[in-house]
Amino acid sequence: MVSKLGDWLNERTGWRATYTAVFLRKIPKINWAYTLGSATLFAMVIQIVTGILLTLYYVPEPQQAYASVSYITNELPFGWLIRGLHHWGASAMVLLVVLHMVRVIIYGAYKYPREFTWITGVALLLLTFSFGFTGYLLPWDQRAYWATVVGTQIGEVTPIVGDTLRAVMLGGEEISGLTLSRFYGAHVWVLPSVLLLLVGIHLYLVIRNGITSVPKRGE
């Protein structure tokens, strides 16, 4: 029954060829360090799902932001779980992308013909940091506020454009409701759009070029 449905769909979509290319592709003999990319992808999916769920209740407005987060955490059923997954998942993302990058450096997997995969990977690393930075403000508590003060002042030391950069980031001279709403917009719309595009390219390249084998002595 299921296989018949699969055949029916395959005749019309050719999904089996894609499935084979993605999941049944040939790979060299490798080790557990090669699972870090997939682990990152998994963490990303968790972040997307829990993030979408959080937007159902979170309100990016100074009077309500903290109250809505507190409502999610303390009053909603499993709100603590959804927020907890998103909170710890964010740290896991940073950890995993860095470990993934370290593996690629150590095994020299950034070399020809995979330079462009590496470049998109670096962009994804920076995106992950941007997610962390913009998401950190959203609970709108003291830690969020002062972390953003510090973070934007770090941005201010950028030569020549520093002051402008900080003002654009904050939407003014000081942290305000404008900062909160633009961080929220960046966190849930701008960054995810770019992220999905880049992840798509990154994965396409991983499949197209195949993965590297563990380098041998003398290579």
Distances, alpha carbon 137 to alpha carbons 69, 96, 148, in Å: 12, 22, 6
Minimum separation from the CB atom of position 118 to another protein (A): 24
Q: Which is nearer to another protein, 76 or 123 (CB)?
A: 76
Q: Which is nearer to another protein, 181 or 213 (CB)?
A: 213
Instruction: Write out the residues near another protein by the rule CB under 8 A.
Output: 16, 20, 24-30, 46, 49-50, 53, 56-57, 64, 67-68, 70-71, 75-79, 81-82, 85
Q: Which is nearer to another protein, 77 or 159 (CB)?
A: 77
Minimum separation from the CB atom of position 25 to another protein (A): 7
Token output for 49? 């799902």
Q: Which is nearer to another protein, 63 or 164 (CB)?
A: 63
d(CA 209, CA 192): 25
Minimum separation from the CB atom of position 196 to another protein (A): 19
Which residues, at least 6 apart from 72, have a Cβ–Cβ distance to it below 8 Å? 54, 57, 58, 79, 82, 83
Minimum separation from the CB atom of position 149 to another protein (A): 26
For residues 122 and 44, is the Cβ–Cβ distance under 8 A? no
Token look-up 């992220």 returns 195
